[in-house]
Amino acid sequence: MNRFPTTRLLEIQARVEALTESKIAPMAQRVDRECIWPAHSMQALADEGLLGLNVAENLGGLGQGLLGLSVVTETIGRVCPSSALCFGMHSVATAVIAAKATRYQEDQYLRPIARGEHITTLALAEQGSGAHFWLPETSLAANDGHYRVNGAKQFVTNGGHADSYVISTLASEETSELGDFSCLVVDRDTAGMTWLEAWQGFGMRGNSSRGVRFDDACVPRGNLLGQEGDQVWYVFEVVAPYFLMAMAGTYLGIAQSAVDLASNHLRSRGYSHSGETLAGVEALQTCFAEMWVTAEKCRGLVREAATRGDLGQPDALPFLLACKADAADTAVKLANDAMTLCGGQAYRENSRVAQILRDARAGHVMSPTTNILKSWTGRALLGLPLL
């Protein structure tokens, strides 16, 4: 298996690195400080043709899979984690739409996404079911050529800014069982759709993670993705792999930024009485080496998971489940290590290290949480059903 980016993906990565430094990095501090949704980042990615990262080439996209998604979100996440999260959730929703897209859905959503004209996002979480995103309470009722949607979603990344939202609902059939749900696309201008309070988070402060309420929202039947009750296929074949990879890449980017910040500090900070930099202190050399090894081990797991997932290997599931959990653990650990190595300068209010420590903590609480993922990984390895 080739666990390293292809020549094509390396070219995409270089484009992302360039626009990240020129367009995304200059606004990153303000995004965090003022809780600004990174419209500039999404526009820069659109202008570069990257919104269609996971759209098939025959529809105008870049035709990338899980590996491509992890590489791009990591690259963005090193500079602006909120931007990486916003792009990542757009990419996950794109993959869900693309999985069983009809001709109408290709023309209405995927081609505009590939042209950089449409942003979509995922809306699964609900207050009543918490981290159990596979148990929606939002209802779906068939009504002539439409569906009526009632319920509420929480923590919708890109909330109020995306052009469409991929939501989960209870399947409409009366015979549906607990856990049976449907996925459909709701357009931003749908009547009966009301956005709740603006996002003010501890970390990931620019992702506009808002709640939305649906009151008899009328959605065309053509916006249904796949068949009603397609939950098992979508969750394990599309939603989980792409979501986990987008998040793993984002938090790996945070972890790498912690390594980079520690490196810069150790190289530049010196003692006035001796002229020696902190890089010359043996104990700090050891600590930094451990940080680097931890980040590289995490990257190896993420690349392995993405490669196995793209190849459709039957043993890919535990790798995919573990990579997001490990990336969250790694991001928090290395952000803490960077805080220690960088000392008082890092402990200042709203320092760059303080920001990535706040952003890293989101990795543990975003569903599926780290604890759930570790449990699922163990169950998968032991041949037990996940749910």
Is residue 185 in a domain?
A: yes
Model confidence at 78, pLDDT cuts 50, 70, 90, reads very high
365 and 258 in a single domain? The answer is yes
Q: What CATH number should be reported for the domain holding residue 91?
A: 1.10.540.10
The residue among 119, 137, 161 that closes a domain is 119
Is residue 386 in a domain?
A: no
Q: Is the pTM of this model over 0.85?
A: yes
- Residue 118 has a CB neighbour count (10 Å cut-off) of 20
251 and 330 in a single domain? The answer is yes
Into how many domains does the chain fold?
3
Going from the C-alpha of 272 to that of each of 35, 85, 276, 341, the distances in angstroms are 39, 41, 8, 18
Among 89-103, 162-176, 206-220, name the one with the lowest average pLDDT. 162-176
Residue-wise pLDDT tens digits, 288-338:
999 999 999 999 999 999 999 999 999 999 999 999 999 999 999 999 999
Q: Supply φ then ψ for residue 123, to 5 degrees.
A: -135, 90
51 and 110 in a single domain? The answer is yes
Q: What CATH number should be reported for the domain holding residue 352?
A: 1.20.140.10
172 and 278 in a single domain? The answer is no
Residue-wise pLDDT tens digits, 244-266:
999 999 999 999 999 999 999 99
Range of the domain at 48: 7-119
CB 70 within 8 A of CB 245: yes
Is residue 212 in a domain?
A: yes
263 and 328 in a single domain? The answer is yes
136 and 75 in a single domain? The answer is no
Is residue 71 in a domain?
A: yes
* End-to-end CA, the chain: 30
Among 167-181, 250-264, 275-289, 331-345, name the one with the lowest average pLDDT. 167-181
The residue among 176, 208, 225 that closes a domain is 225
Is residue 387 in a domain?
A: no
CB 182 within 8 A of CB 170: yes
108 and 131 in a single domain? The answer is no
Q: What CATH number should be reported for the domain holding residue 174?
A: 2.40.110.10
The residue among 197, 225, 253 that closes a domain is 225
Sign of CA dihedral 90, 91, 96, 101: positive
